[in-house]
Amino acid sequence: MKWVKRGPRFYLVLVAAVLAVAGLVTVVVVRSFAMVTVSPGEARERAVGGGAGVGRVDCARVKCIALTFDGSPGEPTGAVMDLLARYGAVGTFFLEGRDVAGNAEVVRRIAREGHEIGDHTWNHPRLTEVGDAEVRAELDRTADVIEGVTGRRPTLMRPPEGRTDDRVSRISRELGMAQVLWTVTARDYATDDSALIARRVLDGAARDGIVLLHPLHKGTVPALPAVLEGLAGQGYTFVTVGELLAPGVAEPGVIYR
């Protein structure tokens, strides 16, 4: 074999080309795992012509809002469902897995009465501060127990405190779960004032809104009648998160808010 002598310039060009290709690959990989945030309206638009049907409510035509409740099914979840039933409303419950089996009948009631169930991890850690294996276990273990009780595996999850990043998004996608954040928070974890909680929700409400509430806190359940009456008076129709996106279907890993 005859070797051809190459000058320094050739090797500089070769190294530059290799680095450029490596950089391009890195960009593609990073982008494929990057956080993607989609609004309910965008989810519906993406599905035009290819969606799975609107279902109970068409939120492209109706002024919709989704009430979501984070916490353990062992909290006053039954009282929340009683109020939702009284006002003809539905909600989405993001449940912590560690108490699901011990409150199986409550969880079955959530599903039976037309509400939606999402995954809120097993022990409520900040997912951005724990390793990959723990993120996966927190979500997967909770999905397993919810499926065992209801027969349906959740496809929505809410990261505790809304803390997510590219890594959590990637793992969520691998587990087949979309992430749901919120557009309105009553900050009910910081006050027992039911009137203030209700006012914060009503002031922050907007079409396609996602409201975050926590049944555990003392002022939340007493605030619900005013929230439900006030939102109904503003012309809102109460829907689950899934209904808010329909005919779009939540895409694993994507963040909805």
CA distance 155 to 179: 9
Q: Residue 16, exposed/middle/buried by CB under 10 A (0-12, 13-18, 19+)?
A: exposed
Q: Which of 70, 99, 119, 208 is catalytic?
A: 70
Reference 158, options 148, 146, 172; nearest CA is: 172
CA distance 40 to 117: 18
Q: Which of 120, 188, 208, 214 is catalytic?
A: 214
Tell me whether residue 120 is one of the annotated catalytic residues.
Answer: no
Containing 142, the helix (H) or strand (E) segment is helix 132-150
What would the two tokens of residue 108 be? 């079955």
CA distance 19 to 156: 39
Reference 217, options 67, 65, 72; nearest CA is: 72
Q: What percent of the chain is helix, strand and coil (3-state, nearest 5)? A: 45, 15, 40
CB distance 201 to 186 below 8 Å? yes
Q: Which residues are tagged catalytic?
A: 70, 214
